[in-house]
Amino acid sequence: MAELQSIVILTGAGISAESGVPTFRAADGLWEGHRVEDVATPEAFARDPGLVQTFYDARRAALAGVVPNAAHRALAKLDRDFAGELLIVTQNVDDLHERAGAERLLHMHGELKRALCLACGESHGWAGDLRGAPACPGCGAAKLRPDIVWFGEMPYEMERIEAALATCDLFVSIGTSGAVYPAAGFVQTARYHRASTLEMNLEPSAGTGWFDEARHGPAGVLVPAWVEEVLS
Ligand code: BV8
């Protein structure tokens, strides 16, 4: 592997699957329990805030029952030991990357353990339920929503992500179906800037044709092996 200076890694629900966090599009996935339109849009929240808050309260509470897996731990090791530039961009709203020790990390679709105040615009760390309309720790208004990017909303830190994609040598996509944009388009941006591209996923994603290399299997097996390759 040529001398790597800069790596961007995109992760999706597949990296958390082996921790027991349901993916979105698997048969038992999250969307099965609820139709997408029912919960992950601002319109849904306006129409039925109780349903949406309950959906996210349940997922936030479920975080207490899961732990990072070998893939999260391998990326945290890469974060510690890789001397070049690294950015882990996760689509996931769970906290498993952090709990494994990753630091050069950003959540482009928000986080279950944060709440956003619709009155003052502040985002706060939040571990409990929101359906009881608790007061914003900042302004006191009972106007907190999940700090999650819903469909139709702009993902976080897009400029930072685009800048990293424009300068990386290697773009790696782990555990995502390539179904949702703009994340699904990152591989094309990386290729445009002449980065090498690698997909690691249980099965070929929708965008698998854009990748120079694709490895198919469980992230818990593929990611530790790949990290060892990079660090050796
Ligand atoms: C925006 C937070 C614009 C919520 C999420 C028509 C065409 C193209 C695009 C659009 C369109 N109509 C609308 C759009 C835009 C839309 C979009 O892409 N829609 C799709 C459905 C077509 N996108 C948006 O709305 C985005 N915003 O475009 O804003 C804008 C412009 C100006 C001003 C304002 C706005 C925002 C999208 C963010 C939505 N929020 N998450 C929550 O979590 O509840 S999306 C959610 O689904 C995830 O975060 C993730 O991003 C996405 C995809 O899920 P995956 O992570 O890929 O999971 P999935 O289950 O799909 O796949 C898992 C994969 O893992 C599988 O491939 C499986 O094989 C693999 N796997 C399973 N087990 C393992 C494994 N791999 C390895 N090991 C294993 N063990």
DSSP string, 161-226: HHHHHHH-SEEEEES--S-STTGGGHHHHHHHTT-EEEEEESS--TTGGG-SEEEES-HHHHHHHH
CA gap 55, 60 in Å, rounded: 9
Q: Which amino acid is at 168?
A: C
CA gap 135, 146 in Å, rounded: 13
Which residues are identified as catalytic? 109
pTM of the predicted protein model: 0.96
Strand ranges of the sheet holding 6-11, from the earlier edge strand across to the other edge: 105-107, 85-90, 6-11, 170-174, 196-201, 213-216
Q: What does the pLDDT read at residue 3?
A: 85
Mean pLDDT to the nearest integer, 216-229: 98
Q: What are 156-201's pLDDT values in tens digits?
A: 999 999 999 999 999 999 999 999 999 999 999 999 999 999 999 9
Mean pLDDT to the nearest integer, 195-214: 98
Mean pLDDT to the nearest integer, 57-68: 96
Between CA 20 and CA 134, with CA 35 as vertex, the angle to 5 degrees is 75
* pLDDT grade for 59, boundaries at 50, 70 and 90: very high
* pLDDT grade for 35, boundaries at 50, 70 and 90: confident
Atom 30 (ligand 1) nearest CA: 154
From ligand 1's centre to the CA of 92, what distance in Å? 9
Q: What does the pLDDT read at residue 1?
A: 55
CB of residue 202 inside a 6 A radius of ligand 1 = yes
From ligand 1's centre to the CA of 208, what distance in Å? 15
CB of residue 27 inside a 6 A radius of ligand 1 = no
Point out the least confidently predicted range of 37-46, 114-123, 127-136: 37-46
Atom 37 (ligand 1) nearest CA: 151
* pLDDT grade for 34, boundaries at 50, 70 and 90: confident
